[in-house]
Structure 1
Amino acid sequence: MPFASVNGQQLCFEDTGGDGPVVVFSHGNLMNRQMWVPQVEALRGEFRCVVWDERLHGRTKDDGALYTYWDSADDLLGLLDHLGVERATLVGHSQGGFLSLRAALRAPDRIKALVLIDTAAVAWPQEALTQMSGVSEGFRTGGPDAVAPALLGMLLGEPEIHHDWLRTWHEQPQERLADAVAVLMGVDDISARLGEITQPALIVHGQVDQPVPLPLGQMLRDRLPGASELIVVPGAGHTPSLTHPDQVNGPLSAFLRHSA
């Protein structure tokens, strides 16, 4: 598995290669690059697909310190440098959307377009922070089994894939999982700056997403100048690209062909 030395970290990534437009996929909290398998399989050949593990996730070798999503945005831009890519379309789920929005603010000339899946531009309300604090502490003291029953259903919805992701959590140190959630809690509000992000944007959102409710996706559609469409996936929760790929891949492919 290749690694990119970026900002003092060793970022694990995969690159399908080829001459097609570059699309970089950034995963959600407690996920990893494998969440994008359905999209990469649908798009490879036509597009050069890059997936990567963010700090405190997957196989990336990081310093273990807490970080911000501005740091993650810089990591993504550094990964583009490593790959020799001047401009790319960014597809981000949840925290992957947090960092993608910040990359567009940090280096607008390097971002062709954005696909934002069940993500937001605001900080968390106190109720959510309290819940996340309990999840973080649960990971830290009890490990994945302490939080899995409630968390897997909220994040993934589809019981048949719960086991696969629980296994990936068990492959990670408990402290790393706890710290990943702590980073999530610290996201800052950038909603006042959405008007600065003028690239074409596609917003995709699960109809019954609990962690990031649908009105937050509607906010992105309304405030991003380049947002052309909001795709609401019926019956989907927080991770429709994984649980409802057939309903996501069509609009995603059409948008990329038009904008990337």
Structure 2
Amino acid sequence: MERGSARRFAGFHEYKKRRFGKRRDPAEGQEIDNSHRRHLIKSKECSQWVETCSDTRGGFSENFRADFRKSGRFGKQSVLSVRCSGEGQLILIPPYYSKVGIGMPFFEREGIRFAYDEFGPAGAPVVVFSHGFLMDGDMFQSNIAELANEFRCVVWDQRGFGATGATTRAFSYWDSAQDLIALLDHLEVASASLVGMSQGGFISMRAALLEPDRFRAIALISTRSDVDSEAVQQSFEELKAEWARNGAKNVAQNLSSFLFGPEYAASVWIQKWMNAGSDHFEHPVNALVSRDDITPRLGEITHTSIVFHGRDDAAISPDCAEALAARLPNCKDLILVDRAGHTPNLTHAEIVNPPLRDFLLRYAR
């Protein structure tokens, strides 16, 4: 079997056979397997709902997803995306992240096991999502929900984060860019587009410099090409020391406001930080504060690009986004999101998703 193919959509029935094997059909509204993040659901209402929502590019509207959650018919499950076999069966893609990586595939590089996952049709254009510092691939849930009908969306957890877990060795973002390329090699993907948020943007730009012919289009969110000020670097050194002493308990709330802004309900992320070990962030912080300035090389990134940034970003100034967009030779647009902080794709997905989708539909194919 082609490597990784068991994770891809290649027609509902083939996917069901490979992913679940032969299983007894559940009672109406009952999940087949609670241990996995993809759940097969059976419902008499499926056909009616599909007809009602048939104008949503093969997916389901946000109102439908909200009604689906509210109904309680299938439990209190956040719905990322829904697909239907046309025979009264739905496949749900809820938030994929699991603290221990249950059901997630891995690839290895330099002795490190990297967690990743895929959503979308097997033959669709590939888009790789790279998360920000202190985050994991789960931060792209709402974006993948919008894109998974038309793109093969690949998310991964970088060194030190998510289900990949703590790293015991020093690394740079050039190493992380090689990790991203190794993921594509593992999946046997010759060409892909990139979506990188903050740290994920640092990595995506370096990957594009390492193998420029490998990538089609690049979307950069809340990122920069230069280095942080000495004051910002010192604040991260202090964070590293505090985390090593006490874990996240004394810094989680401030980090939440710093990354998401005051209006976003960040309890899920706070809990993730609280669960992370005190040894998780020495090397990731070192990579962050010691990264090199690639501004002189931006002219080499000739890929079609787009830049998103929150107007209220306290971590990276919107001025950095303006400078980045001005220096990228083929940047099509700079989108500044009102009232958004450092994570606009997460906190303001309803604003980011339409132009992101339009950009990828036009340039990632």
Of 134-143 and 175-184, deviating more is 175-184
The 8 Å contact of residues 89 and 114 in structure 1, kept in 2 or not, is answered as yes
Aligned to 1:110: 214
The answer to whether the aligner puts 1:3 opposite 2:109 as a matched pair is no
- 2:287 pairs, out of 183, 190, 198, with 183
Whether contact under 8 Å (1:11, 1:62) holds in the other structure is no
- Residue among 139, 143, 158 paired with 2:243: 139
Q: Distance in 2 between matches of 1:66 and 1:146?
A: 25
Distance 1:103 1:200 in 2: 15
Residue number in structure 2 paired with 1:16: 119
Higher mean displacement: 181-190 or 227-236: 181-190
What TM-score do you get using the length of structure 2 for normalisation? 0.69
AA partner of residue 5 (structure 1): E
Q: Answer yes or no: is the 8 Å Cα contact 1:207–1:235 preserved in 2.
A: yes
User: Do 1:9 and 1:61's aligned partners in 2 also have CA atoms closer than 8 Å?
Assistant: no
Please list every run of 5 or more consecutive structure 2 residues that lacks an aligned counterpart in the other structure: 1-103
Deviation at 1:171, TM superposition (A): 2.1
Unpaired runs of 5+ residues, structure 1, are: none
Distance of 1:62 and 1:5 partners within structure 2? 14
- Shift of residue 184 of structure 1? 1.3
Q: Which residue in the other structure is 1:243 paired with? A: 347
Offset, 1:61: 5.0
Residues of 1 paired with 2:124 and 2:234: CA distance?
44
Aligned with 1:70 (options 174, 180, 185): 174
Residue deviations 1:40-82 (CA, integer Å, cap 9, x gap): 1111120000000000001115652121000000000000000
Aligned: 1:34 with 2:138: yes
**Correspondence for 1:206 among 277, 286, 310:** 310
Q: Which residue of 2 aligns with 1:126?
A: 230
Does the 8 Å CA contact 1:7/1:78 hold for their aligned counterparts?
A: no
Q: Give the number of aligned pairs.
A: 260
Partner of 2:205: 101
Q: What amino acid is the match of 1:85? A: V
Tell me if the contact between 1:113 and 1:201 (Cα under 8 Å) persists in the aligned partners: yes
- Give the share of equivalent positions with the same residue, in percent: 41
| Worse-matched range after superposition: 49-58 or 150-159 | 150-159
Confirm or deny that 1:225 pairs with 2:324. Answer: no
TM normalised by structure 1 equals 0.97
CA positional deviation for 1:17: 4.3
2:185 alignment counterpart: 81
Equivalent residue for 2:153, pick from 28, 32, 49: 49
- The amino acid of 2:109's aligned partner reads V
DSSP 3-state at the match of 1:99: helix
Distance 1:22 1:198, change over 3 A: same
CA RMSD across the alignment: 1.2
Q: Report 1 or 2 for greater relative contact order, CA contacts < 8 Å, sequence distance ≥ 6.
A: 1
Separation (CA, whole Å) in 2 of partners of 1:243 and 1:184: 23
C-alpha distance in structure 1 between counterparts of 2:349 and 2:143, whole Å: 7
Counterpart-to-counterpart distance in 2, 1:175 and 1:6: 21
More helix by share: 1
CA-CA distance at 1:256 after TM superposition? 0.2
CA contact (8 A) 1:22 1:47 kept: yes
- 2:316 and 2:269 mapped to 1: Cα distance? 20
Q: Displacement of 1:133 after TM fit?
A: 1.1
Deviates more, 1:62-71 or 1:163-172: 62-71
Asked if the contact 2:167/2:280 (under 8 Å) is kept, the reply is: no
Structure 1 residue 149 displacement after superposition: 2.5
AA aligned opposite 2:119: T
Partners of 1:30 and 1:62 in 2: CA distance:
12
Corresponding residue number in structure 1 for 2:271: 167
Change in Cα spacing, 1:175 to 1:61, as seen in structure 2 (3 Å) is closer
Amino acid at match of 2:217: A
